[in-house]
Copies of this chain bind each other. A is one copy, B any other.
Amino acid sequence: MGTSAHTALDARALRAEFPILAAPRPGGGQLHYLDSAATSQKPQRVLDAMDAYYREANANVHRGVYELAAEATERFEAGRDAVARLVNHPREATVLTKNATEAINLVAWAWGARELSDGDEVLVTMMEHHSNTVPWQLVAQMTGAVVRFCPVTPEGEIDMDAMRAMIGPRTRMVAVVHVSNTLGTINPVREIVAMAHEAGALTLVDATQSVPHMPVDAAAIGSDFLAFTGHKMCGPTGIGVLAATPERLRAMEPFLGGGEMISDVTTEGSTWNDIPWKFEAGTPPIAESVGLGEAVRFLEELGPDRIRAHERHLAQQMLDALDEVPGVTVFGPRQVERRGAAVSFSLDGVHPHDIGQFLDSKGVCVRAGHHCTKPLMRHLGVQSTARASAYLYTTEDDILALQSALAECRQWFGVA
């Protein structure tokens, strides 16, 4: 099935829809963009949708009685509808933020800063992105709560036995990444959510690296909070999403205060708007929601299952290609059923920065660094890795270019 679903996605043809991939590089040849885990490229239709918004319908949303404002509001809210539909979540509980990081901070501050107290525990894993670590540390510091880190197995997966043992009566929140941006690991979030709920803890799933790449069903996962970001899923910068349970959102105090999120403001105090607007203070990312909505329609047309099948195929090719380069060590799961197409690796004798720099001279873009997962880096015993990550527009050519550039890289740095 993998293959037939895979062959149905014609990545080479899709590249034509992405101006940056369709254009020839300054030096000739094409761009081998293997850094989609950092941010995705954007199809023309997403840029067009935002442009059309500004050219035809730009106005501030929600409060205007004139038609232009109504049109702006409609296009803005349609973005929310689209993204809610994509993850099978009620629209009124789909909060638009500036990025995934704000979405997680919203929970940490609006819920955590008020509800956590001395000795309470927030359980994260050793493979979390800093955006799902630091907000909890900041809130813990203010409340006396403790942030605990569930270890990762040598295969690069969450140690589920340890997780089970670490969830206890003091655990108030279990916050885990769905797909690791560094290791590629797909974590068993349904199981973790169930375990946490059984212990009476809340759950947050960082779906930043899953929503762009595979079908994600918020209802099936069942977490209290699910966060992701627009710019990694063919959408623009400046927008993220927090999908939470409606009851939880209604019960929570607001986070940012300001216009739009209020019902009434008096000198004595204020009352709040209905959800989701209660959590959207100030002028929202209007054009960005329009762009994200168009990105969602693009992903829906391609089919998240077909995108996943394509990437599983690419992940296999990537692992095979890297295995053929002497001195390469790959981090994270070997079985493509258990991983996405972000692959971290090291190359003996060449620092990741130098790999990244050399590859760039061959038109191959990979990321080098700690990938905002410093606790994981320490756990792996490295300071940084190189990471190649694929997306729906990635082709076998890109992977072959990576492979041959790596071989040349070894020569250049004298380790061949």
Contacts and interface: CB of A to CB of B under 8 A. Distances in A.
A267 interface: yes
5 contacts: A38-B69, A47-B55, A65-B356, A100-B282, A131-B258
A257 B19 contact: no
A51 B126 CA distance: 38
A384 to B, nearest CB: 10
Contacts of A262: 130, 134, 374
Interface stretch (A86-94, A197-205, A312-320, A362-370): A362-370
Interface stretch (A283-291, A323-331, A336-344): A283-291
A269 interface: yes
Interface string A247-267: 000000110111111101111
Interface of A: 19-20, 23, 31, 33, 35, 38-39, 41-42, 47, 50-51, 54-56, 58-60, 63-69, 98-102, 104-105, 108-109, 113-114, 126, 129-131, 133-138, 141-142, 147, 149, 229, 231, 236-240, 253-254, 256-262, 264-267, 269-270, 281-288, 353, 356-357, 359-360, 365-369, 372, 374-375, 378
Copies of this chain, whole number: 2
Nearest to A356: B65
A240 B283 CA distance: 10
B65 A38 contact: no
A257 B134 contact: yes
Contacts of A147: 267
Contacts of A287: 236-238
A55 B19 contact: yes
Given A41-B58, A54-B42, A266-B374, A254 B130 contact: no
Contacts of A265: 130, 133-134, 374-375
A101 B39 contact: no
Contacts of A261: 134
Contacts of A136: 257
A231 B45 CA distance: 23
A131 B282 contact: yes
A95 to B, nearest CB: 13
Contacts of A240: 282
Contacts of A236: 54, 238, 287
Nearest to A140: B269
Nearest to A366: B66
A359 to B, nearest CB: 7
B58 A35 contact: no
A60 B264 CA distance: 39
Nearest to A109: B109
The listed residue with most B CB atoms (<10 A of its CB), out of A102, A113, A136, A142, is A102
A39 B69 CA distance: 10
